[in-house]
């Protein structure tokens, strides 16, 4: 069986609700462009939290062929540009990478 890797990352942003949402929307738009730019990126899904009782703001789920591709994706200039949107706004980050 050929395995792939899911790369799941959650972000908690700083600022008031309106600031966090604005940053999250810009971040989501940038991330959703990446599958057309980064060859090893099979898919990208990005969710913005709609539940005000929860404290995490954004979750992304990316699918790549293997663990080495996680690093390739992470170092790609387009990914780095998308990640830079969170500069000064990222309070916390949590990540899980697993084969399936």
Task: Please state, rounded to an integer, the average pLDDT across all residues of the chain.
Answer: 97
47-66 per-position pLDDT tens digit: 999 999 999 999 999 999 99
Q: Pairing state of beta strands 58-64 and 90-99?
A: unpaired
What is the tens place of the pLDDT at every residue in 35-45? 999 999 999 99
Longest dimension (CA), the chain: 46
- Report residue 22 as tokens: 């604005």
Residue environment code for 5-39, b if the CB has 16+ CB neighbours within 10 A, otherwise e: bebebbbbbeeeeeebbebbeebbebbeebeeebe
HSE-CB at 8 with a 13 A cutoff on CA atoms is 6
Q: In the sheet where 58-64 sits, what is the strand order? A: 43-48, 58-64, 5-13, 90-99
């Amino acid at each position: 069986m050929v395995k792939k890797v899911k790369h799941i990352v959650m972000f908690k942003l700083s600022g008031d609700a309106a600031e966090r949402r604005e940053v999250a929307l810009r971040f989501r738009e940038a991330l959703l462009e990446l599958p057309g730019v980064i060859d090893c990126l099979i898919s990208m899904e990005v969710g913005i939290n709609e539940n005000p009782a929860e404290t995490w703001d954004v979750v992304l789920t990316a699918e790549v062929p293997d663990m080495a591709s996680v690093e390739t994706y992470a170092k790609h200039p387009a990914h780095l540009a998308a990640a830079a949107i969170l500069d000064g706004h990222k309070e916390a980050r949590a990540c899980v990478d697993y084969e399936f």
